[in-house]
């Protein structure tokens, strides 16, 4: 395994950055679900590079074909397949990349694991480009979840030292997210963009945090222990390259809290059980409690920087230095926002399919 996710649905992602095509198959999807291709494309465009000042100037339109699984705009019950042709296919001599692993990338681990047979061009299968098929699958799930009243949306919570407001945990509002730079507070957004610009000027990069909310989940989704909502979301979100941490509700801040502060009391509201606060991030015992699911993903700074770095020659067994060429995102966080949404939507749709509650 490796690039396969899901229990009731089965997502399988393939492709290398500079291969002929990247894509995915998505099995286990019920028949009769409508597909809004325009909306999916708009979603994919949020991830695509070259759209903004603060991302890489490379332009690649991610225009998927769907050779299977969708007929006349509806899922037909058969596995859905999607394909994006690469215009930027492999060429040139990559022997240098094979010999001198880039710090922070998977070059070295892949070299050992695959014994030198790994595709090194553009990062191969480890490239952030592989999040495009993840967004196709997740973008479809987002559409279908919305029809059940479930919304998934995210914003940039932090870049470098600049921190946006957090969602209101009991009432996160997607309308409050600005575009195209997805923050709640536009002043913070401007400061973040300044931080990215400075990093780029320095030939450097910068990390951040994405906060994601899932609203409209029924109570009772998820299972105890290893199949909880947290486990399922974490197991796919850690599949996004660069994610190094995931926490829910109060998360790491709960370490500093008293039980009397962190417990969420109940009250009746309009004849329904409601919560007085949402430190649990909508999940108790692995099971959704009706409050919004709120989680954060830590995104490390892009490892591709223009500065001279220490590495080794694998063939010679000697120390050496490396200057990574090419134009790279100084900050991957803005483009990671729809990817986190896609991953969360896949986890939740999988949970819904396997549930007797929906």
Residues 272 to 291 in contact with a second copy, rule: CB under 8 A: 273, 276, 279-281, 284-289
Q: Does 170 bind a second copy (CB under 8 A)?
A: no
Binding-site member from 42, 61, 63, 112 for a second copy (CB under 8 A): 112
Question: Taking the complex as a whole, how short is the minimal distance between the CB of residue 47 and a second copy, in angstroms?
Answer: 16
Residues 229 to 268 in contact with a second copy, rule: CB under 8 A: 230-232, 234-236, 238-239, 241, 243-268
Question: Which pair of structure tokens corresponds to residue 255?
Answer: 């370490």
**40 in Cβ contact with 26 (< 8 Å):** no
Using CA atoms in the order 188, 150, 219, 295, what is the torsion angle rounded to 10 degrees? -30
Binding-site member from 54, 126, 167, 181 for a second copy (CB under 8 A): 126
Our CB check for a second copy shows the closer of 177 and 283 to be 283
Our CB check for a second copy shows the closer of 42 and 56 to be 56
Rounded distance between C-alpha atoms, residue 183 and residue 165, angstroms: 8
Question: Which pair of structure tokens corresponds to residue 98?
Answer: 């094979």
Binding-site member from 183, 311, 334, 340 for a second copy (CB under 8 A): 311
Question: Which pair of structure tokens corresponds to residue 194?
Answer: 């300044």
Question: Taking the complex as a whole, how short is the minimal distance between the CB of residue 175 and a second copy, in angstroms?
Answer: 25
Q: Which of 252, 330, 328 is nearest to 297 (CA)?
A: 252
**124 in Cβ contact with 114 (< 8 Å):** no
Question: What are the distances in angstroms from CA 77 to CA 39, 74, 140?
Answer: 21, 9, 14
Residues 208 to 227 in contact with a second copy, rule: CB under 8 A: 208-209, 219-220, 223-227
Q: Does 307 bind a second copy (CB under 8 A)?
A: yes
Binding-site member from 159, 217, 344, 345 for a second copy (CB under 8 A): 159
Binding-site member from 139, 189, 228, 292 for a second copy (CB under 8 A): 228
Binding-site member from 36, 77, 148, 178 for a second copy (CB under 8 A): 77
Rounded distance between C-alpha atoms, residue 248 and residue 250, angstroms: 6
- Spatial neighbors of 234 by CB under 8 A, at least 6 apart, are 246
Q: Check residue 300 and report its DSSP letter.
A: P
Q: Does 350 bind a second copy (CB under 8 A)?
A: no
Question: Taking the complex as a whole, how short is the minimal distance between the CB of residue 100 and a second copy, in angstroms?
Answer: 9
- Binding segment for a second copy among 52-60, 65-73, 141-149, 164-172 (CB under 8 A)? 65-73
Question: Taking the complex as a whole, how short is the minimal distance between the CB of residue 281 and a second copy, in angstroms?
Answer: 7
Residues facing 321 on adjacent strands: 310
Q: Does 199 bind a second copy (CB under 8 A)?
A: yes
Residues facing 21 on adjacent strands: 85
DSSP for 119-138 reads --GGGGGGSGGGHHHHHHHH
Q: Does 143 bind a second copy (CB under 8 A)?
A: no
Q: Check residue 54 and report its DSSP letter.
A: T
Binding-site member from 303, 334, 344, 345 for a second copy (CB under 8 A): 303
- Binding segment for a second copy among 47-55, 137-145, 166-174, 306-314 (CB under 8 A)? 306-314
Q: Which of 308, 297, 280, 356 is nearest to 332 (CA)?
A: 297
Residues 2 to 21 in contact with a second copy, rule: CB under 8 A: 2-5, 7-10, 12-16, 19-21
Question: Taking the complex as a whole, how short is the minimal distance between the CB of residue 38 and a second copy, in angstroms?
Answer: 20
DSSP for 311-348 reads EEETTTTEEEEEE--S---S--HHHHHHHHHHHHHHHH
Our CB check for a second copy shows the closer of 4 and 173 to be 4
Count of residues touching a second copy (by CB under 8 A)? 149
């Amino acid at each position: 395994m490796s690039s396969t996710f899901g229990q009731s649905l089965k997502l399988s992602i393939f492709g290398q950055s500079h291969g002929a095509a990247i894509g995915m198959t998505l099995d286990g999807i019920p028949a009769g679900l409508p597909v809004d291709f325009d909306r999916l494309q708009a979603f994919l465009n949020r991830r695509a590079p070259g759209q903004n000042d603060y991302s890489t100037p490379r332009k690649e339109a991610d225009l998927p074909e769907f050779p299977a699984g969708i007929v006349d705009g509806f899922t037909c019950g058969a596995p859905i397949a999607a394909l994006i042709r690469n215009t930027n296919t492999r060429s040139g001599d990559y022997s240098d990349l094979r010999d001198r692993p880039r710090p922070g990338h998977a070059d070295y681990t892949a070299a050992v694991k695959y014994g030198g047979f790994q595709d090194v061009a553009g990062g191969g299968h480890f490239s952030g480009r592989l999040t495009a098929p993840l967004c196709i699958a997740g973008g479809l799930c987002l559409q279908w979840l919305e029809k059940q009243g479930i919304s998934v949306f995210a914003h940039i919570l932090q870049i470098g030292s600049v921190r946006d407001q957090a969602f209101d945990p009991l009432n996160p509002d997607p309308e409050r997210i600005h575009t195209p730079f997805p923050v709640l507070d536009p002043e913070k957004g401007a400061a973040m963009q300044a931080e990215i610009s400075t990093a780029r000027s320095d030939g450097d990069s910068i990390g951040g945090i994405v906060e994601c909310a899932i609203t409209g989940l029924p109570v009772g989704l998820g299972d105890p222990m290893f199949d909880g909502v947290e486990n399922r979301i974490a197991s796919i979100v850690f599949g996004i390259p660069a994610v190094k941490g995931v926490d829910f509700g109060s998360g790491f801040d709960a370490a500093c809290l008293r039980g009397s502060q962190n417990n969420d009391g109940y009250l009746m509201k309009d004849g329904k059980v409601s919560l007085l606060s949402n430190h649990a991030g909508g999940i108790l015992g692995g099971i959704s409690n009706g409050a919004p699911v709120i989680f954060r993903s830590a995104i490390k700074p892009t490892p591709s920087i223009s500065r001279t770095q220490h590495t080794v020659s694998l063939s010679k067994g000697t120390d050496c230095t490396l200057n990574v060429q090419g134009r790279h995102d100084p900050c991957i966080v803005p483009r990671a926002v729809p990817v986190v949404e896609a991953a969360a939507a896949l986890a939740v749709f999988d949970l819904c399919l396997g549930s007797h509650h929906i």
